[in-house]
Amino acid sequence: MKTCIVRKGLPRIDAIPKVSGEAQYTVDLKMPGLLVGKILRSPHAHARIKSIDTSAAKALDGVLAVITAEDVPENLFAFYQWQADKHILCTDRVRYVGDEVAAVAAMDDDTAEAALDLIKVEYEALPVILDIDEAMKPGAQLIHEGKESNSTWSVDRLFGDPDKALAECDYVVEGTYVTHQLAHCCLEVSNCIAKWDKRDKLTIWTNAQAPHTQRQEVARVLGIPRRNVRIINSTMGGGFGSKLVMDMKLPIASVLSRLTGRPVRIVNTRSEEFTTAKTRYPYTLHLKTGATKDGKILVRDLTLIGDNGAYHDKGPATINFSSMMFGTLYNVPNIRFHGELVYTNKAMGTAFRGFGNPQVTFATESQIDELAEKMGMDPLELRRRNVNHPDETAACGAEVCGCAMSECMELAAKEIGWEEKRGKGAPLRGVGLANMVHTGGGGRFYGFNSAEAIIKLSDEGTVTLITSALDMGQGAHTAMAQIAAEELGVRLEDINVLSHDTELTPYDLGSWGSRATFMNGNAVLAAAEDARQSLVEAAAEMLEADPADILVEESKVWVKGSHEKHDLSEVVDHTVNEHGEPISGIGRFVDHLPEGYTIPTAFAKNIPCFSFGTQAVEVEVDPETGQVNVLRVVAAHETGTTINQTMAEGQLEGSMAQGIGFALMERLVHDDEGRIVNDRFLDYKIPNIGDVPEMKAYCVESVGTRGPFGAKGIGEPGLVPTAPAIANAIYDAIGVRLHEVPMTREQIIKALKEKRASET
């Protein structure tokens, strides 16, 4: 494919505003009468609220409003309304440390803080449950009264006959794998400004990954028409899933604004961000994998308990997505999957880059190595015998069209030096490898998956692209601009992207599930095709040529065979300023329901495009300190067509760093009373520049997908296989198998001690 703009490693279109400080985040916004809002949060993980006295706070000079549950609608909220379990402000009970109890609006920060201190809340402590096993015990304290148990949701998937298959297998391995609560660690904390105006319209400026659905959520929880709510996104400093579902500060700031008649801004402190901005769902996974002696994996059986935290959010979607990826990878013919969510008195889980896949892949790809070990087979060879193939339909129903799994795996293995190093490296050094599959275009999780875009060309070739592609920092706007520029034949710098406003942009599900490039990209491409047609017609008219002979490239227009190139601006100027005919286009992409689609037999058909990949790592372990040094990571991930080489590599590199954190460092740690003790970056360890090793990211192009120019999403995959690759490398280095992430120094030392004990 000849391309001018797409496939290049062009600088991001928002690079300069971001490095120069011109980009406006919500905290940078100024508006007349803006008030400071702050939230009083529960210091208890579980307690009854006996009384709240706000009189002293209300009496404080500079305080304009103090609200409690009495001042807000009683509507219960959850992402899925059928799971609604959370009030805007707690009524009679708090369920985790950080739960919203009251809120104030004041003239400035200090006054707001002082007002919070003046609110007197009397609590009566209730038993605190931090552990899923304890939560599931018969007779355990119910975290939500009226429910039958703390187990709050479950799903089962069955394909083939796992029991029969297990009986037929020559080798079966079984194990339990554990992951914990992680923070998203966005550089920008959750925040918003709400302004409820005199026309009864509510405008919210915030950093949302999905403004349109959050708009619905705000309307729902406040009990107002959706059409009265507008969400405008400022520049965003990261999302990673944490900003997908509405935070309670949005309705809280809204109510404060309605009461005061002024805009109200609420911004998380970093501690609030760590303790209340939701977490990755911790999974406890009990997994069995069975294979024949020639290395064909026949069956996988997984029971997965997710720690839901205190309230519902994206749990069912996360576990369902886990099941889809679990069912698709290696196309195992017999699959059993049981997923369950259990309430605890901790911050709630939510979406987090990878969406349940890193947890499951840690288990499955660790166990492949365990299985290979048991079979005496090279784990790479075992994987080779089970790779996914292009154009296959998996037993779970997934339609794998484009697929470059083999290419990714062989490339990563070669680049890490698998043949030379595996099982025969230097002492205390080892290599490991893991595969993964992920969606490359979101999914039909809301019942549909679609996108729309609008393009207008104005005088002198100014191109405005109105897209719902949500740029939370990942570069979606640059990718959209490249797609539009490529198709229109204009320079990248001539594309201006307008986005991030529910009034302006077409209804859209937001950025998640590596969705934007594939879905919004296809819509942008369609809009550009539409506009290009008018552009070509205008050029043909101006140049007195056949439209079929018009060529447009890099903002130059010419007639095939002619050497006279015209600047695009001449054509647009001509049609706009002489004929008054602006050039515009609307494009749409809908991932239509397949024929005969039924849930659950073909639930993985929800995924419009799969993206495979492999990571291989080399580690060195210090047996004295338990320190694992990751020496090198090689990532080979399928991109279909790489829209922007630099950004794709950046996505992969960032993901790998996050994967290293997931594998070795990151975990929110609670004390016995349910307080998170590491609520700042000094205590919550993420990889820093010294922890990040040499990385090599390969974007493997492949054919067969319906993405724009053949592209797939690459936002999440790079995080998925890192942890099992490291676990497998640790095993290669020191012969111990860790089943829990983060794989801390303590765990390494303990495992080595156990290994030595068992060997003696």
Which of residues 2 and 30 has its CB atom nearest to a second copy in the complex?
30
Candidates 584, 629, 645, 678; binder of a second copy (CB under 8 A) is 584
Q: Minimal distance in Å, beta carbon 51 to a second copy?
A: 37
For the bound state, the minimum distance from the C-beta of residue 115 to a second copy, rounded and expressed in Å, comes to: 25
d(CA 411, CA 635): 9
- 504 binds a second copy per the rule CB under 8 A: yes
Written as six digits, the tokens of 360 are 């499951």
Name the token pair of 563: 């050497």
**Residues contacting residue 187 through CB under 8 Å, at least 6 positions apart:** 237, 238
Per CB under 8 A, the list member of 460, 549, 570, 653 interacting with a second copy is 460
Member of 4, 107, 551, 586 binding a second copy (CB under 8 A): 586
Among 420-428, 497-505, 636-644, 693-701, the segment contacting a second copy (CB under 8 A): 497-505
Question: Is 554 one of the binding residues for a second copy (CB under 8 A)?
Answer: no
Is 588 a binder of a second copy (CB under 8 A)? yes
The verdict on 591 binding a second copy (CB under 8 A) reads yes
Cα 623 to chain centroid distance, Å, stands at: 35
Taking CB under 8 A as the criterion, the residue among 3, 9, 17, 389 binding a second copy is 17
Site membership for a second copy, residue 254 (CB under 8 A): no
Among 179, 209, 216, 611, which residue sits at the site for a second copy (rule: CB under 8 A)?
216
Q: How far is the CB of 77 from a second copy (least distance, A)?
A: 17
Site string for a second copy, 526-545 (x = CB under 8 A): --------------------
* Token digits of residue 353: 């880059």
By the rule CB under 8 A, 458 interacts with a second copy: yes
Which residues in the 188-207 window bind a second copy by CB under 8 A?
197-199
- Part in contact with a second copy (CB under 8 A); list of ranges 17-25, 40-48, 73-81, 621-629: 17-25
Query: What residues form DSSP beta bridges with 49?
Result: 123
Does residue 599 bind a second copy (CB under 8 A)? no
For a second copy, give the closer residue by CB, 74 or 503. 503
Cis bond upstream, residue 594 (ω within 30): no
Contact flag: residue 259 with a second copy (CB under 8 A): no
Q: Which is nearer to a second copy, 33 or 735 (CB)?
A: 33
Q: Between β-strands 566-567 and 279-280, what pairing exists: parallel, antiparallel or unpaired?
A: unpaired
Question: Which range of residues in 99-107, 167-175, 179-187, 224-232 is near a second copy by CB under 8 A?
Answer: 224-232
447 binds a second copy (CB under 8 A): yes
What separation, in Å, do the N-terminal and C-terminal C-alpha atoms of the chain show? 62
Binding flag, residue 223, a second copy (CB under 8 A): no
Q: Which amino acid is at 207?
A: N
The reply on whether position 496 binds a second copy by CB under 8 A is: yes
CB of 30 to a second copy, least distance (A): 4
- Nearest CA among 407, 326, 354 for reference residue 612: 407
Residue 226 touching a second copy (CB under 8 A): yes
Residue 466 contacts a second copy per CB under 8 A: yes
Least CB distance from residue 48 to a second copy, whole Å?
37
Cβ-based nearer residue to a second copy, 203 or 722 = 203
Rule CB under 8 A: say whether 137 interacts with a second copy.
Answer: no
* Residue (218 or 700) nearer to a second copy, CB: 218
CB of 133 vs a second copy, minimal distance in Å: 39
**Can you tell me which of 428, 590, 677, 703 binds a second copy, judged by CB under 8 A?**
590
- Residues 6 or more apart whose CB falls under 8 angstroms from that of 457 comprise 463, 464, 488, 531, 535, 572, 576, 582, 583, 584
Residue with tokens 């999302």: 239
Q: Residue 260 or residue 458: which is nearer to a second copy going by CB?
A: 458
- Segment contacting a second copy by CB under 8 A, of 576-584, 617-625, 696-704, 734-742: 576-584
If the CB atoms of residues 442 and 715 are measured against a second copy, the closer one turns out to be 442
Count CB-CB contacts under 10 A for residue 515. 29
Q: Is 748 exposed, middle or buried (0-12, 13-18, 19+ CB in 10 A)?
A: buried
Q: How many CB atoms lie within 10 A of CB 672?
A: 8
Least Cα distance to 661 among 676, 678, 675, 644 occurs for 678
Asked if 355 and 288 touch (Cβ cutoff 8 Å), the reply is: no
Greatest C-alpha distance within the chain: 91
32 binds a second copy (CB under 8 A): yes
d(CA 598, CA 600): 6
**Residue 733 in contact with residue 428, Cβ under 8 Å?**
yes
66 versus 317: smaller Cβ distance to a second copy: 317
Rounded to the nearest whole angstrom, what is the least distance from the CB of residue 27 to a second copy in the complex? Answer: 10
> Given the complex with a second copy, which of 580 and 690 has the nearer CB atom?
580
Least distance (Å) from a second copy to the CB of residue 34? 8
Pick from 143, 576, 635, 734 the residue near a second copy by CB under 8 A: 576
Report, in this order, helix, strand and coil percent for the chain, each rounded to 5. Answer: 35, 25, 40
- Using the rule CB under 8 A, is 217 a contact of a second copy? no
In this structure, what DSSP letter does residue 740 have?
Answer: B
Q: Which of 88, 63, 64 is nearest to 74 (CA)?
A: 88
What gap in Å lies between CA 713 and CA 699, rounded to an integer? Answer: 12
- Cα separation, 741 vs 239, whole angstroms: 22
The Cα–Cα gap between 90 and 305 comes to 27
Please say which residue, 329 or 527, places its beta carbon nearer to a second copy. Answer: 527
461 binds a second copy (CB under 8 A): yes
Sign of CA dihedral 733, 738, 740, 745: negative
Site membership for a second copy, residue 567 (CB under 8 A):
no
Q: Which C-beta is closer to a second copy: that of 241 or that of 608?
A: 608
* Nearer residue to a second copy within complex by CB, 569 or 642: 569
> Residue 339 CB, nearest distance to a second copy (Å)?
25
Q: Between residues 3 and 24, which has the closer beta carbon with respect to a second copy? A: 24
Nearer to a second copy among residue 579 and residue 753 (C-beta): 579
Pair 555, 486: CB distance under 8 Å: no
The one-letter amino acid at 159:
F
* Rg, Å, the chain Cα set: 27
Q: Determine phi and psi for 361, rounding to 5 degrees.
A: -70, -30
Q: Is the dihedral of CA 499, 502, 507, 508 positive or negative?
A: positive
> What span, in angstroms and rounded, lies between the C-alpha atoms of 326 and 146?
34
Query: Is residue 690 within the footprint of a second copy (CB under 8 A)?
Result: no
At its nearest, how many Å lie between a second copy and the CB of residue 25?
11
Q: What is the Cα–Cα distance from 143 to 45, expressed in whole angstroms?
A: 10
Examine residue 225 and tell whether it contacts a second copy (CB under 8 A). yes
Q: What is the rounded CA–CA span in Å between residue 566 and residue 568?
A: 6
Asked whether 66 and 264 are in contact (CB, 8 A), the reply is: no
| Shortest distance (Å) from residue 537 CB to a second copy | 14
- Asked if residue 471 binds a second copy (CB under 8 A), the reply is no
The residue assigned the tokens 């030392």 is 749
> Residue 526 corresponds to which tokens in the numbers above?
């369609």
Residue 503 interacting with a second copy (CB under 8 A): yes
Q: Is 677 in the site for a second copy (CB under 8 A)?
A: no
Residue numbers of the site for a second copy (CB under 8 A)?
Answer: 16-17, 20, 22, 24, 28, 30-32, 197-199, 212, 216, 219, 225-227, 230, 446-450, 452, 454, 456, 458-462, 464, 466, 494, 496, 498, 502-504, 506-507, 576-582, 584, 586, 588, 590-591
